[in-house]
Amino acid sequence: MSPRLRRAAGLAVAAVILALLGWRLWPRGEAASEPLAPQAAADGSVQLAPSQVQALGIALADVQAAREVPVPGLPAQVEAPLEASQQVVTPWAGTVSAVLVHEGVAVRAGQPVLRLRSAEALRAGAELARAAAEAGVAAQQARRDAQLLAEGIIPAARNAQSQAQARSAQAELARAQDALAGARVRLAAGGEVELLAPLAGRVLRRMVRPGDPLPAQAAALLIADPARVDVAVAVPAALRAQLAPGLALRLGDGQRAQVVAVGADLDPASQQLPLRARLETADGLLPGTRLEATLLLPAPAGALALPAAALLPEGAGQVAFVRQGERFRALPVAQVLGSADGQAVVLAPGLRPGMQVVVRGTAALKALLPPPQPASTR
β-strands 256-262, 304-307 pairing? unpaired
Same domain, 149 and 275: no
Let me know if residue 8 belongs to a domain.
no
Same domain, 233 and 279: yes
pLDDT given for residue 19 in this prediction: 45
Same domain, 138 and 254: no
Region of residue 117 (phi > 0: left; psi between -120 and 50: alpha; otherwise: beta): beta
Region of residue 319 (phi > 0: left; psi between -120 and 50: alpha; otherwise: beta): beta
pLDDT given for residue 24 in this prediction: 38
Same domain, 122 and 178: yes
Q: How many residues does the chain have?
A: 378
pLDDT band, residue 353 (cuts 50/70/90): very high
Domain containing 291 equals 71-81+228-296
- For residue 306, how many other CB atoms are within 10 A of its CB? 26
CATH value at residue 54: 2.40.420.20
pLDDT given for residue 18 in this prediction: 35
Q: What are phi and psi of 203, to 5 degrees?
A: -75, 110
Q: What is the pLDDT of residues 66-110, one digit of tens each?
A: 999 999 999 999 888 887 888 898 888 889 999 999 988 999 999
Q: What would the mean pLDDT of 275-302 be, rounded to a whole number?
A: 87
pLDDT given for residue 23 in this prediction: 40
Residue 347 predicted with pLDDT over 80: yes
pLDDT given for residue 17 in this prediction: 37
Q: What is the pLDDT of residues 140-155, one digit of tens each?
A: 888 887 888 788 888 8
Let me know if residue 194 belongs to a domain.
yes
Let me know if residue 172 belongs to a domain.
yes
Same domain, 276 and 311: no
Give me the sign of the Cα torsion angle 197, 203, 207, 212: positive
Most trustworthy range by pLDDT among 22-36, 45-59, 113-127, 176-190: 45-59
Total domains in the chain come to 3
pLDDT given for residue 20 in this prediction: 39
Q: Where are the beta strands (DSSP E) in 285-355?
A: 290-298, 304-307, 311-314, 317-324, 327-333, 335-340, 343-347
Give me the sign of the Cα torsion angle 90, 96, 99, 102: positive
Same domain, 133 and 208: yes
Same domain, 136 and 255: no
Separation of alpha carbons 135 and 280, rounded Å:
50
Residue 249 predicted with pLDDT over 60: yes
Give the rounded percent of residues in the chain with a pLDDT score beyond 70: 83
pLDDT given for residue 177 in this prediction: 66
Same domain, 254 and 283: yes
Residue 124 predicted with pLDDT over 80: no
Please check whether residue 336 is in contact with residue 346, taking contact to mean a CB–CB distance below 8 angstroms.
yes
Same domain, 77 and 60: no
- For residue 368, how many other CB atoms are within 10 A of its CB? 18
pLDDT given for residue 108 in this prediction: 93
Residue 370 predicted with pLDDT over 70: no
Q: What is the pLDDT of residues 157-215, one digit of tens each?
A: 888 888 888 788 788 777 766 766 656 777 777 778 889 998 888 898 899 999 999 89
Q: What is the pTM of this model?
A: 0.64
pLDDT given for residue 144 in this prediction: 87
Question: Which DSSP state fits 246?
Answer: T
* Per-residue buried b or exposed e for 123-145, using 16+ beta carbons within 10 Å of the residue's own CB: ebbebbeebeebbeebbebbeeb
Residue 27 predicted with pLDDT over 70: no
Same domain, 180 and 285: no
